[in-house]
Amino acid sequence: MVDIYNHEIKGTNQDVPVSVNQPNRITYCVGPLIFHVLRMDIGQEKFRNFIRTLYARYYGHNIDYDDFKKMLGRFASKEVISKMERSVEKTGLPEGIGNQ
Domain ranges, ordered by start, for the chain: 2-89
For residue 49, the model assigns a pLDDT of: 97
Query: Is 0.95 surpassed by the pTM of this model?
Result: no
- Quick: pLDDT tens for 48-99: 999 999 999 999 999 998 999 999 999 999 999 999 998 887 776 777 775 4
C-beta of residue 48 within 8 angstroms of C-beta of residue 77: no
* 57 burial via Cβ count (<10 Å: 0-12, 13-18, 19+): exposed
